Structure 1
Amino acid sequence: MALQQKVKMNGQKVLQTSFTSIYMGEEEYSLDSYVRIENLNGNKESISITLHFYVLSDRSKFLYSKQYEFTPDMESNENFIKQGYQYLKALTEFENAVDILEV
């Protein structure tokens, strides 16, 4: 499982010529990303997850990673990874995220 999420990033706008690069200032970009839990550590009291964000159209292009932490439900039939995605989707940051089911 993974998530599709629109992310905003800031970057430098640079005009590239054959003999020089001209810095044009900062620009905000919005792009669709593929978000996957890459690492999960913890115990019954707290689970730490590391998310990796990739360009959706080319999942080999890594954007950045981010850490989150949640309290697992030990009574749930769902594993910690599934609970991690459920936790993320409950956050405002991921309210518009769409599930990507991997086979």
Structure 2
Amino acid sequence: MALKMNYIKQVDKDMLKNVGFNYLAEKVEDSITFFDAYIKITNQNGDKNNINLVISIYNQKEGILLDQDSYSFIPDTSDTAVNFIKQGYQQIKANKYPTAIDLLDEGQTA
């Protein structure tokens, strides 16, 4: 499972200037939009009291890593709850990336 959405990455113009690309820093926009960026939970740890996620954002599936983010939540541990990874995607879609759409892995069903 993963998510897909348009992702806006802020450009660090100071970094460009610091490495000698002043001309580029003056010409580049403040942000770049990556259409249909691929968002995947790449690490999770925790227990029934708290789950910590590492979220990786790529330009496309199996593409270039654009950014990483983190998110924490208290999981549902009831007998009818879905696993922690699915809960993680539900949480980040609802609370962090509300415009994202679900992507299923090959052979996976909702």
* TM-score normalised to structure 1 length: 0.81
Q: Deviations over 1:67-96 (max 9, x none)?
A: 1000000004300000000111111x4111
Q: Does 1:39 align with 2:43?
A: yes
Displacement after TM superposition at 1:66 (Å): 0.6
Partner of 1:86: 90
Percent identity of paired positions between Structure 1 and Structure 2: 32
**SS of equivalent to 1:87:** helix
Corresponding residue for 1:17?
none
Partner in structure 2 of residue 2 of structure 1:
2
Query: Which residue is 1:67 aligned to?
Result: 70
RMSD between aligned residues: 2.1
Q: Which has the higher strand share?
A: 1
Q: Could you say which structure has the higher helix fraction?
A: 2
Matches within 5 A, 1:39-58: 39-56=43-60
Q: Secondary structure at the match of 2:77?
A: coil
Unaligned runs of 5+ in 2: none
How many correspondences in the alignment?
A: 95
Q: Distance in 2 between matches of 1:21 and 1:95?
A: 36
Partner AA of 1:22 in structure 2: Y
The alignment's TM-score, normalised by the length of structure 2, stands at 0.76
1:100 corresponds to 2:103: yes
